[in-house]
Amino acid sequence: MSPAAQTPSLLITGADVLGRGVQDVLLVDGRIAVLGADAAEQAPERTQRLHADGLVLLPGLVDLHTHLREPGREDAETVETGSQAAALGGYTAVFAMANTNPVTDNAEVAERVLDLGRRAGYVDVHPVGAVTKGLAGEELAELGLMARSRAQVRVFSDDGRCVHDARLMRRALEYVKAFDGVVSQHSQDPRLADGTACCHEGELSGRLGLPGWPSVAEEVVVARDVMLARHTGSRVHVAHVSTAGSVEVIRWAKAQGIDVTAEVTPHHLMLTQDLLSGYDPVYKVNPPLRPTEDTLVLREALADGTIDCVATDHAPHVRQDKEHAFVDAAFGMLGLETALGVVSTTMVASGQMTWADVARTMSTAPARIARLSTQGQGVVAGAPANLTLVDPTRKVTVDAALSRSLSRNNPWHGRELTGAVHMTILRGTVTAREGLVWGTEEQR
């Protein structure tokens, strides 16, 4: 990365800041120097100008839940390709899940992922630490060492698997409290979701002849975990909330003052289980796509703050793992490049959320949950210049072939989304612009 001191000054004019009104914004030395009427006057000599009329300026997006697959599955994604996809999607920071090979269950792997992210340089890559060694659910991983490492891990998760042993979950919550960490739980009772289950259990799964798992497999774990959070006084985060029942529990827990936060994925906001009728494994994901009623409750919960944030659960898989009969295919779908468009289409174009709500749910709230000090302050003078410019009315038909991800398990292919990322800026440097990744080493 080029040092911030060499980043040219940039004056952004005409953009609607968070949808709250047009303000000029001056970026100097990688920071937001001035906001408002004085910005142009205070611009140093040779400041570049960007005319952003009609665009909305948001703080750089932060993804609490990304699978970058490196180390171990560099055929599906690398930190570099995943970072490029993230920059194109408007992200300036992502949290890389620990289900890699080797698993990120110690300081060494965590620092390796951190360094790979820095070398790529498109977004800040923060490793998530595993809760248990090897994700085996038996013994706590080196939580303290990961927290004290250069990676300063604060988010811990066995994602892909549920920490189903209540005693281990309790100990993990007690442990992370010492450094204000958070346990992000993949809530799914393995005893209620047997190994072959691959979709939502209900009338449709019966008709399709696919083994399903019930909503309650998620809800019982959410209910248990909020009680453990209350008991330990620690923080629990519910990953990929997918059912109306989970929302009910989280709403109740928050009303009690329990320190619980939650995320919803773009796919659970827009896609529903009826897509499974063609048995296309691109729609196979964990937790599964649910009935429309759940989707509508998730949207309401995101808008009213019961669900704190949107997280992609970007889960790239190679063709050999995904293109199988539905029951045998891998779980997961791409999400980084389309998340903003999906949220814009489902929540903003529909009038359920404002752009300020998008800034909260896709930047400031996830940064706060992860206790990020380097990002998520919003668009304010003095903050690092991590910014995303959005064209709110642009309609884009998603083309999987144009994705920067190495994988092609893209459920959004062919869909028209309203609202597109125009530009992403990391500490004053443009990382993506109009569908092209900028800021490669050669260009700097």
> Which residues make up each annotated binding site?
65, 67-69, 99, 159, 186, 240, 286, 313, 317, 331-332
Q: Which of 10, 39, 67, 128 touches ligand NCD by CB under 6 A?
A: 67
Contact flags string 223-262 toward ligand NCD, x per CB under 6 A: ----------------------------------------
Q: Tell me whether residue 190 is exposed, middle or buried, using C-beta atoms within 10 angstroms of its C-beta: 0 to 12, 13 to 18, 19 or more.
A: middle
According to the binding rule CB under 5 A, does residue 186 interact with Zn ion? Answer: yes
Q: Does residue 200 belong to the site contacting ligand NCD (CB under 6 A)?
A: no
Residue 160 sits in the site that holds ligand NCD (CB under 6 A):
yes
Q: CB-wise, 252 or 331, nearer to ligand NCD?
A: 331
CB of 361 to Zn ion, least distance (A): 18
- 313 catalytic per annotation: yes
From candidates 286, 361, 386, 405, binder to ligand NCD by CB under 6 A: 286
Q: Are 391 and 420 in contact (CB under 8 A)?
A: yes
Residues in the chain, overall count: 444
Nearer to ligand NCD, 221 or 390 (CB): 221
- The rounded distance, in Å, linking the Cα atoms of 65 and 276 is 24
Catalytic one among 308, 313, 321, 357? 313
259 interacts with Zn ion by CB under 5 A: no
Binding residues for Zn(2+): 65, 67, 159, 186, 240, 313
Residue closest to Zn ion when measured from CB atoms: 186
The answer to whether the Cα torsion of 114, 141, 188, 77 is positive or negative is: positive
Tokens coding 108: 């060494």
Find out whether 308 and 259 touch, Cβ atoms under 8 Å. Answer: no
Q: Does 420 bind ligand NCD (CB under 6 A)?
A: no
Q: Please choose which of Zn ion, ligand NCD, none residue 331 contacts, taking the beta carbon within 5 to 8 angstroms, the exact cut-off set by kind.
A: ligand NCD
**Does the footprint of Zn ion cover residue 308 (CB under 5 A)?**
no
Residues 6 or more apart whose CB falls under 8 angstroms from that of 163 comprise 131, 132, 137, 169, 172, 183, 185, 186
**Strand pairing partners for 49?**
11
User: How near is the Cβ of 333 to ligand NCD at its closest, in Å?
Assistant: 7
Kindly tell me which of 186 and 224 has the beta carbon lying closer to ligand NCD: 186
Ordered DSSP codes for 7-42: SPPEEEES-EETTS-B--EEEETTEEEEESTTTTTT
Q: Is 63 a residue that touches Zn ion (CB under 5 A)? A: no
Complex with Zn ion: residue 330 or 389, whichever CB lies closer: 330
Angle between helices 107-120 and 79-88 (to 10 degrees): 50
How far from 216 is each of 16, 188, 224, 242, 243, CA to CA, in Å?
43, 9, 12, 11, 9
The 3-state secondary structure of 289-318 reads CCCHHHHHHHHHHHHHCCCCEECCCECCCC
> Token pair of 355, please?
């752009």
State the binding partner of 268 from Zn ion, ligand NCD, none, CB within 5 to 8 A by kind: none
Contact between 99 and ligand NCD by CB under 6 A: the answer reads: yes
Query: Which residues ranging from 145 to 174 are in contact with Zn ion (CB under 5 A)?
Result: 159
Residue closer to Zn ion by CB (options 16, 70) is 70
- Binder to ligand NCD among 186, 200, 267, 299 (CB under 6 A)? 186
Binding mask 316-335 for ligand NCD (x = CB under 6 A): ---------------xx---
Q: Applying CB under 5 A, which of residues 77, 313, 321, 391 lies at the interface with Zn ion?
A: 313
**Does residue 380 contact residue 23 with C-beta atoms inside 8 Å?**
no
Token look-up 């936060």 returns 261
DSSP code, position 379: S
77 contributes a contact to Zn ion by CB under 5 A:
no
Whether residue 288 has a cis bond before it, omega within 30° of 0: no
Residue 377 CA to residue 59 CA, distance in Å, equals 8
| Residue 267 binds to ligand NCD (criterion: CB under 6 A) | no
Q: Where does this chain bind Zn ion (CB under 5 A)?
A: 159, 186, 313
Q: Where does this chain bind ligand NCD (CB under 6 A)?
A: 67, 99, 159-160, 186, 285-286, 313, 315, 331-332
- Give the residue numbers marked as catalytic: 313
